[in-house]
Each structure stands twice: as C-alpha cells, then as structure tokens.
Amino acid sequence: MDFIPKINKKDKVSVYKSLYIREELVNKVEKIAKDNNTSFNNVIISMIEACLEENEKNNK
C-alpha cells in the first residue's frame, strides 16, 4: 500500500527541529511529496503521526 500524506493543518503550534536523514530516505520522501503535490515536511509529519497512532493502537 502506498503512503498517502494527510492534509497540512496550520492551526497547531509548531516548533523547528533539524534532522539528519540518509540521502536514500530523502529521495524516497521527496518522491512521495512530488507524487502527492505536497511538501517534504508534510510527508515527514504525516509519517510520524501515522506511526504514533499505530503505536498507540497497539499499546491499548
């Protein structure tokens, strides 16, 4: 199943963080972003949220 990023919500307070990401992963995320007409950042945030939601479901 292909990953589909969520629509970006701008009503939340955000903070700036820097990450070092392997070039291979950057290329894959950039492709997802391009294919979904969204930003690299939005894909990363969507992935983090999906993983956290899945983790919460599994820990209940």
- Model confidence pLDDT, tens digit, residues 5-15: 877 767 778 89
Angle value at C-alpha 22, between 16 and 32, nearest 5 degrees = 75
Q: Is residue 22 part of a domain?
A: no
Structural domain of 52: 27-58
Which pair of structure tokens corresponds to residue 22?
A: 């392997």
* Cβ-contact 36, 5 below 8 angstroms: yes
Residue 21: phi and psi, rounded to 5, are -125, 135
**Nearest Cα to 44, choosing from 29, 60, 22?**
29
Q: Is residue 54 part of a domain?
A: yes
Query: Rounded to an integer, what distance in angstroms lies between the CA atom of residue 51 and that of residue 6?
Result: 13
- Mean pLDDT computed over 14-22: 93
Q: Is residue 46 part of a domain?
A: yes
* Number of structural domains in the chain: 1
Q: Is residue 39 part of a domain?
A: yes
Q: Is residue 32 part of a domain?
A: yes
Confidence of residue 3 (pLDDT cuts 50, 70, 90): confident
What global pTM score does this model have? 0.80
Q: Is residue 50 part of a domain?
A: yes
